[in-house]
Amino acid sequence: MAKKSNICSSVEGNNLSFNTRQFFSKPPIFNEILKKRVYPFKLGINGYVEIETPIEDPEKTAVYTTSLTEKGDSIQGGSIDGWSTRPIKPPTKGAATGTHSASFGSLKGHSYAHVESPHRDHLQSADIQARHPQVIEIINPIYGFDLKEI
């Protein structure tokens, strides 16, 4: 079970659960990599996503080779975005802390989420300040190399 909060950290699974203080669902778009319609979303203000059901054979089905794909792997950040191959049901509101409510939901079908911006305290940590890692997402070669022309 890996837990990441670095910028560009990502998860992919068949069923992802999430909680956040702000949930935004976007209109469906056509994904050129998967060659199918996907339903984008964005989690704002303390987003958290965890894999409930992993994808089968991640070496062949994961879109990004850098994605976490094991059951229980999770990411969290100030802002998270991604997509799902199935329509996203509206999340339910519930108590998350003593002072704030949150939206709780799940993503069905092949779903992907990545940290767009990490928590401010993570960015200001001594470890990150010392390393400044440069993370590059690598598209899985199974989807072909013609994507560079797009």
Where residue 78 falls (left for φ over 0; alpha for ψ -120 to 50; beta otherwise) is alpha
Q: What single-letter amino acid sits at 69?
A: T
Q: How far apart are CA 89 and CA 6, in angstroms?
A: 27
Strand, coil or helix: 103: strand
pLDDT, tens digit, 9 for 90 and up, residues 45-88: 889 999 999 999 999 999 998 999 999 999 988 899 999 999 99
Burial of 38 (0-12, 13-18, 19+ CB in 10 A): buried
Nearest to 79 by CA among 120, 44, 41: 44
Domain ranges of the chain: 3-149
pTM for the model = 0.79
pLDDT, tens digit, 9 for 90 and up, residues 91-147: 999 887 778 889 999 999 999 999 988 766 555 555 555 555 554 455 556 555 554
Strand, coil or helix: 97: coil
